[in-house]
Structure formats: C-alpha cells, structure tokens
Amino acid sequence: MRELTYVRATSAAEAVAAVTADPHARYLGGGTNLVDHLKLGIASPEVLVDVSRLPLDAVEETERGLRIGAAVRNSDLAAHPLVRTDFPALSRALLSGASGQIRNQATTAGNLLQRTRCVYFQDASTPCNKREPGSGCSALEGYGRYNAVLGASESCVTTHPSDMAVAMSALDADVVVLGPDGERRVALDDLHRLPGAHPERDTTLAHGELITAVELTRSPATRTSTYEKARDRASYAFALVSVAVALDVVDGEVADVRIAWGGVAHKPWRARTAESLLRGGGLDEQRVRDAVAEELRASETGLDTAFKVPMLTGITARAVLRLAGATR
Ligand SMILES: Cc1cc2nc3c(=O)[nH]c(=O)nc-3n(C[C@H](O)[C@H](O)[C@H](O)COP(=O)(O)OP(=O)(O)OC[C@H]3O[C@@H](n4cnc5c(N)ncnc54)[C@H](O)[C@@H]3O)c2cc1C
C-alpha cells in the first residue's frame, strides 16, 4: 500500500513552505475533487497539506468590493448578502454547481483549481495528454459532447469545469497568491491557461503557490450581472455551455459589458471581441447575436459539438437582453 502523509497547516506561510519543499506534496481544500482523483488513481501525492482550516474563511467588505478567503465554502459564498446584491452572477453560478452537500464542503480556491471532468482524463486506462503527457488525446476521436470549441489544441480538447470561475471572469476578479517569495496578484483571466502543447498544466501557478483570496470590485455592471447554464439535467450536471454577463446600460447605450463563457474552452472564455462590439451602442437581439458570431468566428466544431454555437448564441442573447430589461 502507498503511504500518504496528512499535515494540517496552522498558517499560510507554513503551508507554502511545506508544499514548496516537496514536489510530491499537494494542498487539500474541501477534498471533493482531489480525493476523487486519489481514488481513481489519477493523482498520487505523497503528502497532503490541509489548508481548509486556515483562517482564510471570511468574506470581508473592502473599499472597492469584497475579499473572499480561499477557504470560504461555496454554500457560504453563494448565500452571502453582499455577493447576492453586488455580484449576483457569482451567487447564481455557485448555486448552479454540484449539490448542496458538495457546496458545503468545496472551497473557493479548490473550486477554481478543480480539474477537468473529461471522461478520458478520469479513466486511467485510456491515453490522455493532460493526465500523462505524450500519451495522446482519446477525446479527439472519442466521446466529444463536452469538448472545447475555442482555443483547443491537437494535444487536448477538454473544457474547464468550474461554474464559479466563469462568473469570476466576467466580474474581473483578482486572485491573491502566496508563494515562497511573497504575495502576488493574478487576474482571473490569467490564472487558467489554454492547453497548447502542455495540457497537463491547468494554470499559471507554480508548484507551492497557495491561493489565499479572491478580490472583487463592485460596479454598476457587477450589480446587474447574471449566470445561465445549459446542461443535460436540471441539476447535478456540468455545463454544456454557460454564460456570465455583467452589464451597465446608461441612456439606452451600453456603458459596460462583460461576457464570459463556460463549457467551450480549457479556461473560462472571456468574450472580449463581442464585448467591444456591444460597448457604446444600444441593445437588441440582432446586435447581440452579431457580436457573438464575431467572437465565435475562431470556433472549431465537430459533429458532437456543433450544437454549442447556436446554444451559446441563444443563451448569451437571452442573458444580455434580460439584464438590459433590468438596468436603468
Ligand atoms: C458529483 C459532483 C458534481 C459536481 N458538479 C459541479 C458543477 O456542476 N459545477 C462546478 O463548478 N463544479 C462541480 N463539481 C466540482 C466541485 O465544485 C469541486 O470538486 C470543488 O469545488 C473543489 O473544491 P475543493 O475545495 O473540494 O477542492 P479540493 O478537491 O480540495 O482541491 C482541488 C484542487 O485545488 C488545490 N487547492 C485547494 N486549495 C488550494 C489553495 N488554497 N491554493 C492552491 N491550491 C489549492 C488542490 O491541491 C487540488 O489540486 C462537482 C463535483 C462532484 C463530485
């Protein structure tokens, strides 16, 4: 039997030192993803450093918005009054994910860093470049309903699974990270990476870097924000496609719009081309559909994923127009 050492860190600095010193050490948040991977034999750390009980479990109001501790549970974050009023997209995204029991256990940092649900990644008997670099990508010719349509590579066509991360992308979140050389901030958009030739690397974090918090800045757009998710079942299912929108319309013209998509790429996809086409003009369904079409010009679909283009277009138009009805 393989030995696994469990360490409960008493401070963030102690946790960083422990994981940095050992290439086989990993952080443990709520464990709802990592422990599954241990059981499936697709992760084999020798040391688990538990960071779920560090004093990083508060949601604090700041001058600009909110600071969310890395160990805040998904349920608590979704229910927080200031999240519900100032960042409703985040609350909706969290509540659309997993089940009540899992949300009670899952942490903010762990949710951001959960790994793909690609069936081949989770099946250690199949080739998968993300799990075992150089072994091949079974999803290229295999079951492809959840595959990416933007930013994929020959090495990997999988999608990022976190609903919360998509909302945080549209909310322009910053991730606060502690490493052996101190603290740094990473824009949520720069946290996850496209697969390229190295799909085994999900993020731009170095080994040992610990997420300590996520910071959000409130604005009229974040207050008028939403998250919509299309999936195979009404609950307990990952997104086929999803959209987070933050919108501010002033005197009939778009003053601020932010759109992020889930279920389409190796990372939350920020639809910046569509945003720039929508900013400054009025809103009607055709304008939104045209802007989305421009964003999706680079998309590549196959038989299994062709449905994602009309689905994304419809879900995005609906979310934007619903919000437009709700803004001043
Ligand atoms: C049946 C089921 C259905 C689900 N459905 C959905 C869904 O619809 N939508 C959705 O978004 N999610 C869904 N999930 C995934 C769930 O949201 C994640 O498992 C959960 O959010 C992970 O959080 P955790 O704290 O348990 O992470 P863990 O499992 O503890 O950790 C995940 C990763 O994060 C790392 N980590 C943890 N904390 C830190 C830190 N502070 N700094 C750096 N690294 C850290 C760990 O080392 C590990 O690599 C589902 C899960 C299950 C089991």
| Predicted TM-score (pTM) of this structure | 0.98
Distance 15 CA to ligand 1 centre (A): 18
Q: Say how far apart CA 105 and CA 101 lie, in whole Å.
A: 7
Distance 50 CA to ligand 1 centre (A): 14
Report the pLDDT value the prediction gives residue 328, as an integer from 0 to 100.
59
Distance 30 CA to ligand 1 centre (A): 7
Partners of residue 64 on adjacent β-strands = none
Burial class from Cβ neighbours inside 10 Å (0-12, 13-18, 19+) for residue 256 reads middle
Distance 282 CA to ligand 1 centre (A): 39
Report the pLDDT value the prediction gives residue 326, as an integer from 0 to 100.
77
Ranges of beta strands (E only) in the chain are 5-8, 25-28, 47-50, 59-61, 65-69, 174-179, 182-187, 210-217, 225-230, 241-250, 253-262, 269-270
| Residue-level pLDDT, tens digit, the chain, 328 residues | 678 999 999 999 999 999 999 999 999 999 999 999 999 999 999 999 999 999 999 999 999 999 999 999 999 999 999 999 999 999 999 999 999 999 999 999 999 999 999 999 999 999 999 999 999 999 999 999 999 999 999 999 999 999 999 999 999 999 999 999 999 999 999 999 999 999 999 999 999 999 999 999 999 999 999 999 999 998 889 999 999 999 999 999 999 999 999 999 999 999 999 999 999 999 999 999 999 999 999 999 999 999 999 999 999 999 999 999 977 5
> Atom 34 (ligand 1): residue with closest C-alpha?
110
Q: Best substitution site from 47, 102, 201 to test ligand 1's pocket, by max atoms within 8 Å of Cβ?
A: 102
Tokens 């992308």 belong to residue: 169
Neighbours of 29 (CB within 10 A): 24
| CA dihedral of residues 40, 119, 128, 196 (deg, nearest 10) | -120
Distance 155 CA to ligand 1 centre (A): 24
Asked if residue 224 lies in contact with residue 326, where contact means CB atoms within 8 angstroms, the answer is: yes
Q: Best substitution site from 14, 22, 34 to test ligand 1's pocket, by max atoms within 8 Å of Cβ?
A: 34
Report the pLDDT value the prediction gives residue 1, as an integer from 0 to 100.
66
Asked if residue 173 lies in contact with residue 215, where contact means CB atoms within 8 angstroms, the answer is: yes
Helix (H, G, I), strand (E, B) or coil at 269: strand
Ligand 1 atom with the shortest distance to the CA of 70: 41
Distance 288 CA to ligand 1 centre (A): 33
Report the pLDDT value the prediction gives residue 241, as an integer from 0 to 100.
98
| Pocket of ligand 1, beta carbon within 6 A | 26-34, 51, 70, 97-98, 102, 105-107, 109-111, 113-114, 161-164, 210-211, 238
